[in-house]
Amino acid sequence: MRTSSMVLVLAGLLLAGCGSAPVNQKPTDPIFVGTTVPVVVAEKCHVEVPAEPAWQVEAAPAAGTSEFEKSKAVLAELEQRRDYENQIKAAAKKCE
């Protein structure tokens, strides 16, 4: 007797759940709401890369030059490389 009353209660609850479904809405018809969403679109950045200079150490002849001339060439190349790096950084900043 106890199990039969429990089955009846469960059946009643299941049927009560079906009565709360919306009547006017068809379950197969999707609902679309049109909205515009602003989206940022990335563009390709075209930057002209600076030409690589002729480095001082490569241009200086290795044989027959004094240590002083070699050290001058190394220091000059350090300045060249700093300038070249700054030019590349400036070109890269244009794409940010």
- Please write down the long-range contacts of 52-57, taking CB distance under 8 Å and 24 or more positions apart: 52/84, 53/80, 53/84, 55/80, 55/81, 56/80
Residue 9 inside a domain? The answer is no
Whole-model pTM above 0.85?
no
Is 60 a member of any domain? no
Question: What's the structural domain count of the chain?
Answer: 1
| 87 domain residue, yes or no | yes
Q: Which two tokens stand for residue 64?
A: 């027959």
Q: What is the mean pLDDT of residues 86-91?
A: 92
Report pLDDT digits (tens) over 25-83: 666 667 778 889 899 888 888 888 889 988 888 877 777 788 888 888 899 999 999 99
Residue 82, in any domain of the structure: yes
Domain span at residue 85 reads 65-96
